[in-house]
Amino acid sequence: MENNIFLTSNPSDKDAYKSIMTKTVDAIVDSVNDSRAYAGPTPQVLGSQVGKYEIFPSKGIGFDALLANLKESILPNFLRTASTDYMAHLHSPALLETIASELILSTFNQSMDSWDQSPVATEVEVAVVEKLCTMYGYNMDSSKGIIGDGCFTSGGSQSNLTGIALARDWFCNKTLHHDVKKYGLPENYRKFRLYTSEISHFSMEKSAHLLGLGYNSVVKVPVDKYQKMDITALAQLVAKDVAEGNIPFCLVATIGTTDYGSIDSVSELRKIADTYGMWLHSDAAYGSGLVLSDIYKNRMGNLSICDSITVDFHKMFLLPISCSAILIKNSSHFEPLELHADYLNREEDEEDGYTNLVGKSLQTTRRFDALKVWVAFQVRGQEGMSTLINTCIDNALYVYSRLDKSPDFSPVTKPEISSVVFRVLSKKEEQVSEEEIDELNKGIRRSLIHEKGIVIGQTLYNGLVHLKFTLLNPLLTHEKLDSLLDLILSLR
């Protein structure tokens, strides 16, 4: 047996661990030697570079030779999320201390399904979830009524799937006296309707499909010019569905749409949800980060009136992928996910004070992502986190004000969080077709990636190609943003 395969108490293993980590850290640090977001190679170049390695040789090449391959082909070609030239997606740079947390959590490789696989980690996740519930306004004092609960997930998509699954099962239990867990979908499942804005995340449709309801159950509600769900249109759509015999069961507010960061009004949505007995889920994958801001927090609205909330920490909270949570207002609503296995989460454990978190999750084996929240919150404190978020929001407002004043750009809407969507207009004097302007915008994004190492976003608004800045990097300055806008204009 080869020596040094794990970190054990054996001194030679400890030395090997330190040596591998130190060499890796040196290689990482050495590879970051300019400010670009991307070195520029095309997919073809990268494909042939990666293709030259034998992935599973009959004899291993050892760590040092492997590290040489990493240094040659992989490390230099990473997308650099920490670069201020990266602003394409809701994909954030990772705070230093939380990268260290990743090392800790994979070194110890805890699994969050049962207490005996994650003793202290379970207690940390429970404490972090309790703190999060409090931050979003859920009651955590059982003497004052129902209490909130939550669970970490792999991302916003899984958090949304969980929230909508709980909504479906709650609705079937309460309204139809039907237990989906035991009997599957009720006879009339084709009439079930979930309402969400037309620009909500596609995990709504995916969830509806996976939950047996299908895309047809998802009703896309038009948005107003601020890209928020049109409440009058929602009320009409629900009323029409009810008149036609359909069954509204869930309403989803988007707190920060993926493209615009626009925020649906949860207080208005709550009224309609209550009128028709619907569950109200908040997809705050993006906008949940506003909770950290001392200035902009109220923009989220009062999320405590929602039955469930999706929170993503790998977006505005600047933590490494993956890190997300589903929070629920009434802890008893996790019941549909509970299932006991004799080998894993015996019922007697809970009676004796051992928490097995598997009963709140779609996953079994699960990462200790809660550690990263625990670490970042303590390291930075409320003030530190608030400053990071405020800077991003201020930058978006700054960009918008510049675009709005300029005849060369057409921005879609004033940002509520940290994304700005705009179209670059043609500098030609004569009339140009929309198709030509589409090509101009696409061309600008492509040359920025491959010629300048700058990665920005692109989307469609009213069927027209628009560019997008998703500003999650608090190192961005107004000067930097000014010079990027100038560069964009010079590429026309």
Ligand X SMILES: *Cc1c(COP(=O)(O)O)cnc(C)c1O
Say whether residue 320 binds ligand X (CB under 6 A).
no
Task: Candidates 92, 258, 262, 293: give the one binding ligand X (CB under 6 A).
Answer: 258
Say whether residue 201 binds ligand X (CB under 6 A).
yes
| Piece of 2-10, 33-41, 280-288, 415-423 that binds ligand X (CB under 6 A) | 280-288
Q: At what angle do helices 266-276 and 231-243 cross, to 10 degrees?
A: 10
Say whether residue 254 binds ligand X (CB under 6 A).
yes
Tokens 């670009």 -> residue = 36
HEC readout, 24-41 = HHHHHHHHCCCCCCCCCC
Say whether residue 261 binds ligand X (CB under 6 A).
no
For residue 373, what is the DSSP state?
H
Task: Candidates 92, 157, 197, 395: give the one binding ligand X (CB under 6 A).
Answer: 157
Footprint (CB under 6 A) of ligand X, residues 394-423? none
Rounded to an integer, what distance in angstroms lies between the CA atom of residue 388 and that of residue 377? 12
Site string for ligand X, 293-312 (x = CB under 6 A): -------------------x
Secondary structure class of 149 (helix, strand, coil): strand
Contact yes or no for 230/224 (Cβ under 8 A): yes
Residue nearer to ligand X on the CB measure, 85 or 312: 312
Q: How many CB atoms lie within 10 A of CB 460?
A: 11
Task: Candidates 148, 150, 156, 411: give the one binding ligand X (CB under 6 A).
Answer: 156
CB of 301 to ligand X, least distance (A): 15
Rounded to an integer, what distance in angstroms lies between the CA atom of residue 136 and that of residue 252? 17
Name 248's bridge partners: 193
| Piece of 164-172, 237-245, 252-260, 400-408 that binds ligand X (CB under 6 A) | 252-260
Say whether residue 163 binds ligand X (CB under 6 A).
no
Residues 77, 32, 82, CA angle at the centre, nearest 5°? 85
Task: Candidates 81, 227, 304, 324: give the one binding ligand X (CB under 6 A).
Answer: 324
| Piece of 42-50, 223-231, 282-290, 442-450 that binds ligand X (CB under 6 A) | 282-290
Say whether residue 246 binds ligand X (CB under 6 A).
no
Name 279's bridge partners: 250
- What's the CA dihedral at 461, 462, 465, 467 to 10 degrees? -20
| Piece of 21-29, 164-172, 253-261, 422-430 that binds ligand X (CB under 6 A) | 253-261
Rounded to an integer, what distance in angstroms lies between the CA atom of residue 236 and that of residue 376? 44
Q: Give the footprint of ligand X on this chain (CB under 6 A).
A: 90, 155-157, 160, 201, 203, 254, 256, 258, 283, 285-286, 312, 324
